[in-house]
Amino acid sequence: MLTQSQIDAIAEAVIQSMKPAPAPNTKNSAGNPSMRRGADLKKDKPVEASEVVPLGASFMMEKSTAGSDSKKRSPANEDGLVDITSPEVKAVPLLDHIEDREGLERMMSRTPARIGVGNCGPRLKTKTMLTLRADHAAARDAVFMDVSQELLDRLGLFTVETQCVDKTQFLTRPDLGRIFPPEGLETIKSKCAHDVDVQIYASDGLSSTAVEANLENILPIITDGLKARGLKVGTPFFVKNGRVAAMDQISEALNATVTCVLLGERPGLATAESMSAYIAYKATVGMPEARRTVVSNIHSRGIPAVEAGAYIVDVIQKILEARASGVELKK
């Protein structure tokens, strides 16, 4: 913030610049035109802020020291542009006056909540508002984009669509995202192994971004871990525009003992990359949701995909031993 003396100096400089220039002193300058022109130019020269305010002064709209720290620490692309949604940038406090910076940074590292963002008068700071809008855009993209065919090809997954014809229908008709058309079920039956211990598949759900970010790391961990325990694992595949309950039809069609879907969760302003694993023992169409076991918050700032994969293997093993899932597993 400016001190009173700095404010007075700025006001005086503005007032002086608005006054008309006095007539030239012909007595002193008539004999030296260059001196007269130099004096006139000096009078007409705009006043620089640095002449009356130290460069280090903090303005309300001026970037704070936290902002300059952010610039030093922020990852930039080849064009020098900084991603304001990156964890490195969000980890930098935007408060102007911090009594315990280390304590605040430690607190910010433990939560995706927007703390330490400061304010500009009664409003959010520009950087905070831009970050909110960028995160909202990322959430919308996560819902409406499709999982890339390149990823599915690398993992060797074929695609089956539910009865939803597009994303708009998927969002407005959740019931159609739980069932497959007859040709879709036939594709599953013809391409997948039957009577397996565990059937795993992936689905975009409400975040294709989550699938892109986690599937390549988590799927091999689960399949390899289950096979290492001597379990028969079914043929993995991908369901487009799928809801959680689509797993019930798949379970019945393949006669799978345990069915597990790796699904993109509804994105928020904290992350658009969160995936969940929904697991059910002998799932049937119309069964209560309480029969599903869920492992959620799978993303880089939650449970890392590799760690979550190993944990899911243990959970599936317990479900097979207990012959139950969901709330029945805890009885």
Confidence tier at 78 by pLDDT (50, 70, 90): low
Give the model's pLDDT for residue 70: 39
201 alpha carbon, distance to own chain's centre: 24
Residue 64 has pLDDT above 60, yes or no: no
pLDDT reported for residue 111: 82
Contacts (Cβ under 8 Å, ≥6 apart) of 1:
58, 60, 96
Least Cα distance to 57 among 118, 130, 5 occurs for 5
Proportion of the chain above pLDDT 70, given as a percent = 79
Residue matched to tokens 């509804």: 266
CA–CA distance, 233 with 251 (Å, rounded to integer)? 13
| pLDDT reported for residue 108 | 87
Q: Residue range 229-256: average pLDDT? A: 97
Q: Closest Cα to residue 67, out of 7, 130, 21?
A: 130
Nearest to 241 by CA among 140, 321, 166: 166
pLDDT confidence of residue 31: 47
- More confident site: 51 or 140: 140
* 169 pLDDT higher than 80: yes
Integer-rounded Cα Rg, in Å, for the chain is: 31
The model's pTM is: 0.72
What are 279-319's pLDDT values in tens digits? 999 999 999 999 999 999 999 888 999 999 999 999 999 99
The packing angle between helices 208-228 and 126-144, to 10°, is 60
The conformation of residue 323, written as its DSSP 8-state character, comes to: T
Confidence of residue 19 (pLDDT cuts 50, 70, 90): low
Q: Which of 44-53, 99-108, 177-186, 270-279 has the lowest mean pLDDT?
A: 44-53
Residue 110: predicted pLDDT: 83
Maximum C-alpha span of the chain: 110
CA 66 to chain centre: 22
Confidence band of 14 (pLDDT split at 50, 70, 90): low
User: In the beta sheet, which residues pair with residue 72?
Assistant: none
Cβ burial, residue 259 (10 Å; 0-12/13-18/19+) = buried
DSSP helix/strand/coil, 325 = coil
What is the rounded average pLDDT for all residues in the chain? Answer: 83
Inter-CA distances, 229 with 161, 197, 226, 232, Å? 32, 11, 5, 9
